[in-house]
Structure 1
Amino acid sequence: MIYNYITIEGNIGVGKTTLANILAEKLNARLVLEQFSDNPFLSKFYKNPEQYAFPLELSFMAERYKQLKELIHTRDLFKSLTITDYLFTKCLLFAKVNLPDEEFRLYQKLFDIIHQQILKPELLIYLHAPVNKLQANIKKRNRSYEQAIPDEYLFNIQEMYTNYIKQHNIKAVFVDASNADFINNPAHVEVILDILSKEYEHGQYYTSLP
């Protein structure tokens, strides 16, 4: 394996956690998954975003920082590769969408201090799917608090991700996940494994699934 640390990213419902789990098993990798199910503000945020956006984003940033900070201080002697299903920068992107300007400026000051201490992945796999596909996946996994997410919100998140990656010239492979089925179609997983077998210069690359 060329890489020691890779990240799978994408919009809500695109399948990043599913893919991260499959890759970790196949590659005997250390897996770091975002912890969201026990966040006390998440369901409240979807019901009342204006009231709960700021505590939600702060709590997510604290949890992500705790998880990723440990990567620097701990080593797994039996697993040389680490896979995560989120970028720490996700904090800033979601905050930009969810917070009013004054709160976002305060949030960004905190983010800038913390971000410097976080290990950056060597390669980003970004799964991209249209909003209608995301909504179908969200309905299928049936988390009650997600069922009323508007299309516009998903579109804004998508735009925020793609613009950030391109503006910062992050080493990333965009994968068209419009027809992705990583659980039932081994060929789709093979495409990702092939990506991970290659070295890339900084910049963005694009591929699709068969």
Structure 2
Amino acid sequence: MNYHFITIEGNIGAGKTTLAHLLSKHYNARLVLEAFADNPFLPKFYENPSQFAFPLELFFMAERYKQLKELVHTKDLFQSVTISDYLFTKCLLFAKVNLPEEEFRLYQRIFDIIIPQLVQPDILIYLHAPVQKLQSNIRRRNRSYEQSIPDDYLFRIQETYTHYIRQHNIKTLFVDASNADFLGNEKHVQVILDALEKDYENGQHFLALP
């Protein structure tokens, strides 16, 4: 397996963290997980998006930067692979959906200053699931502040992700996660492991789960 930095992305409830845990265990990899629970603005954002979107996104960007910046300065002799359950560009994609135009332009200026300092992944695994599946997963994990996320919001996030991936020609394993059950079905994880043994050109490479 030739990829040293693998990032998993997808919409809210797509199964990113679950898959990241399983892959990191398989590869004995360093695991970088989004510290969403530490963001004090997250519950407030879902109650009042217009008031709390900007501090929410700034907090996320600062925390993600701090985590990923450490990858540049630290190397673990016993772990040559790093698995992350988020892409730093996620900051910009969510901000584009959540912020009004003027705030987004300011946010983007900060983002553009920061991103050259970070290591980019060798390959992106994108989990694409329909909104109905996402809502089912969100209900199952039962975080109180997520239970009223509208379908339209999830759809806009989905569209923003897929547009970004197409536009930037990122080396991406685009996984149809409509029936994904990474914890309960070992064959679903094996599809990902088998795919990571191959080399790919830049662009999207589509995977279906059995």
TM-score by length of 2: 0.99
> 1:149 and 2:141 equivalent?
no
> 1:22 and 2:7 equivalent?
no
Letter in 2 for 1:172: T
Quote how far apart the aligned CAs of 1:194 are. Answer: 0.6
Partner of 1:99: 99
Partner of 2:82: 82
Q: Secondary structure at the match of 1:205?
A: strand
**What is the identity percentage for the equivalent residue pairs of Structure 1 and Structure 2?**
73
Instruction: Output the aligned Cα RMSD.
Output: 0.4
Partner of 1:183: 183
Work out the CA distance in 2 between the residues paired with 1:23 and 1:119: 20
TM-score by length of 1: 0.99
**Residue segments in structure 1 that go unaligned for 5+ positions in a row:** none
Q: Secondary structure at the match of 1:116?
A: helix
Write out the 4+ residue segments of structure 1 that deviate beyond 3 Å after TM superposition: none
- Superposed, 1:1-210 pairs within 5 Å as 1-210=1-210
Aligned length: 210
Q: Secondary structure at the match of 2:24?
A: helix
Letter in 1 for 2:89: T
Letter in 2 for 1:89: T
**Residue segments in structure 2 that go unaligned for 5+ positions in a row:** none
Q: Secondary structure at the match of 1:13?
A: coil
Q: Secondary structure at the match of 1:75?
A: coil
Q: Secondary structure at the match of 2:36?
A: coil
Work out the CA distance in 2 between the residues paired with 1:193 and 1:107: 36
Q: Secondary structure at the match of 1:79?
A: coil
Letter in 1 for 2:156: N
